Amino acid sequence: MTLQEARQESISQLSAIYPQSEAEAISELLLEWISGIDRSQKSMFRQVQLSDEQKRLLVTSMPRLLAQEPVQYITNQAWFCGMSFYVDKNTLIPRPETEELVEWVISNCRFPLKELSILDIGSGSGCIPIALKKRLNKATVVSCDISSGALGVARRNAKELGIDVDFFEMNILNPEQRAQLKKYDFIVSNPPYIPVHEKSKLDFNVAGYEPPQALFVPDEDPLLFYRVIGEMGKDHLNPGGLIIVEMHEDLARDCERLFQSLGYKTEIRKDMQGKERLLKAAVNSI
């Protein structure tokens, strides 16, 4: 079997549960992992024969994909800001939209950098703090998460990518633990923000596989993490410091009003899909 034949067969099977374009993208990610041949070199697919081991990987992977398991959990790989991150079921899969949060933080820095401190809340795979540290090498970047499993993944990624980020375990909903934090120039976060009642609206490859504690918040308090982050900022932001967060598009204006009620000046930015997904908050000025 050639790679091209494997591609056609996998797309045919996946098209039963995914739109054609998504089936093609999933198939190409899988075959890139199996073969080591980049998707940009698809012209080679016609000539390359799968080895017995590669056939075995294909055969064992397809039932998992047909059960709607994300391909990134099968390959243990996801790309973010031009870097390959290890991912597993302890972490969310990095999204392209979140790269815009990284870029917005960077665009709010004053160059040349002298001293800069960044706290990331909710490490996950470590994609946000690692990407920030790579781009802002002189910055001190720290990141916390309540999940020891996620922290293990984040530390692995930092080590494999050669990026110096300090990851530590913390429950930011615990006031006593929050009190131990230092002061920072930026507090950034992509916290849980999906109300539990919306779980049924999510695709099964998200709701059925990605870690619930990183996705969902109580229906009665959907802005829980933003309120805590806003309160943290009063005690743990340096003068002129900023909070930049990702948020639920349907709750963007509620989130903005929350930060304004806590004394912040705010700005909302739309993501690449035109959704109100990013918010910047400053105590003094934007």
Q: What is the pLDDT of residue 43?
A: 67
Whether 202 has a pLDDT exceeding 90, the answer reads yes
At 241-281, the pLDDT tens digits run: 999 999 999 999 999 999 999 999 999 999 999 999 999 99
For the chain, give the longest Cα–Cα distance: 63
Look at 112 and 218; give whichever has higher pLDDT: 218
What percent of the chain has pLDDT above 90?
89
User: What's the distance, CA 258 to chain centroid?
Assistant: 24
Selection from 17, 71, 73 nearest residue 39 by Cα: 71
Q: What is the pLDDT of residue 284?
A: 64
Nearest-angstrom CA–CA distance, 114 and 139: 8
User: What's the distance, CA 81 to chain centroid?
Assistant: 11
Selection from 46, 66, 38 nearest residue 1 by Cα: 46
Other beta carbons within 10 Å of 99: 19
Name the band, by pLDDT with cuts 50, 70 and 90, for residue 286: very low
| DSSP H or E segment with residue 276 | strand 276-282
Nearest-angstrom CA–CA distance, 281 and 267: 7
Q: What is the pLDDT of residue 48?
A: 84
Q: What is the mean pLDDT of residues 228-248?
A: 96
Tokens of 251: 């709750």
Q: What is the pLDDT of residue 139?
A: 97
Beta strands in 91-135 (DSSP E): 117-121
Q: What is the pLDDT of residue 275?
A: 96
Selection from 266, 246, 251 nearest residue 103 by Cα: 246
Q: What is the pLDDT of residue 39?
A: 67
Residue type, 39: R
At 205-223, the pLDDT tens digits run: 999 999 999 999 999 999 9
Q: Give the C-alpha distances (Å, rounded to integers) separating 74 from 47, 113, 234.
A: 25, 39, 42
Selection from 105, 69, 109 nearest residue 89 by Cα: 69
Q: Is 266 strand, coil or helix? A: strand
Supply the pTM of this predicted model: 0.94
